[in-house]
Amino acid sequence: MGRKAFIFLFILAAALGGTYLALQRQAGPTPGAEAQAWLPALQGRLADIDAIEVQRPGQPPVHLARRDSTWVVADKAGYPADARAVADLLRALGEARRVEARTAKPELHAQLGLAEKPGEGQALRLVVRGQNGLPQQDLLIGKPGQQGKGQLVRLPGDNQSWLIDRRIELPETELAWLDRRIAAIPFSSVRQVEVRYPQGKELTVYRDAENEPNMKVRQLPAGRKLAYEAAANGMAAVFAGLQFADAAPLDQVQFKDKPLLSFELQTFAGGRLTGELLGQGEQYWLRLTGQEKLDDQVPGRTDWAYLIEPFQYQALARKLEDLLSAK
């Protein structure tokens, strides 16, 4: 690249950066704006919100609905949504205050990520609906404020844009809106995990007391040792943070072959979890078949099938020889 071309690009980049900063500060501070709620209609009425639509450019819309006390992703057969993500969004909408007015020129909205029409700079659109006479809220969400502080926003049909004092951070995809937890059983609480294979072979890892740091192998041959002290721990630890990569109602998934294995987990407190791992092409799916005394630690449902990652399958589908040291 020649020296003149380099100088030209440098000047262009500086100009674009300056334009963005100018747009952010174009209207300047609005007297008393910091005390004004961005969405007055939502003040004290977050409990009346029962539907949220997220329209991210280039993606199908995500529809969230409140059913009793649980938020669900409606288009995913009503599967529970990530409660924290929904709560964070509602809190941000309810607490957001106007900080400064920004540009009111439509031709500049795209540079702030607040354009309504498809194309570069198109805004994310939120539609919030509720009950008990709550007015519908149509919102356009643009770029974050400078240094990630606050958010640039406006209302459809209103050219005036604003900087608010809250970030509106949303999951990127429909999958990310789901409560992806299958199980969250602390490793320290697991007493035993038994895996059974179709050929009749079994592998059981266990410990006698909660203060024992490592699992033992019930089928350990005489004179053999584990490859290392914690070699069997992974079969129990996988349930501490087991999340799915995708999910489908059980009646929508056709498994042609028999399960690759079945498992049973028991805790020191008397909890019990059973399930199966199944193959579908090169994919591994998990199906829960029952649970007792583990309601808070097993968000997964028995009427759904869960796609899991290969490493999760491999952590549970261990064979005895996988755990033993070389002869």
Q: Are residues 304 and 211 in the same domain?
A: yes
Task: Report CA 285 to chain centroid distance, whole Å.
Answer: 19
Distances (CA, A) of 88 to 1, 91, 148: 47, 5, 17
Rounded CA gap, 283 and 14, in Å? 49
Q: Can you give the pTM of this predicted structure? A: 0.86
> Residue 38 is part of which domain span?
31-171
What is the rounded end-to-end Cα distance, in angstroms, of the chain? 63
Distances (CA, A) of 106 to 35, 68, 246, 283, 307: 26, 41, 40, 48, 45
The pLDDT of residue 199: 87
Q: Are residues 39 and 89 in the same domain?
A: yes
Q: Are residues 166 and 261 in the same domain?
A: no
Report the domain count for the chain: 2
Q: Are residues 120 and 199 in the same domain?
A: no
Judged by average pLDDT, the poorest of 19-28, 169-178, 181-190 is 19-28
Q: Are residues 231 and 115 in the same domain?
A: no
Q: Are residues 188 and 247 in the same domain?
A: yes
pLDDT in tens, 259-279: 999 999 999 999 999 999 999
Domain end residue (candidates: 171, 190, 215): 171
Tell me, yes or no, whether 239 lies in a domain. yes
pLDDT in tens, 192-234: 999 999 989 999 999 999 999 999 999 999 999 999 999 999 9
Name the amino acid, one letter, at 179: D
Mean pLDDT over residues 238-258, rounded? Answer: 95
Here the tokens at position 18 are 């300056």
Q: Are residues 155 and 90 in the same domain?
A: yes
Q: Are residues 141 and 212 in the same domain?
A: no
Tell me, yes or no, whether 1 lies in a domain. no
Q: Are residues 252 and 150 in the same domain?
A: no
Q: Are residues 40 and 92 in the same domain?
A: yes
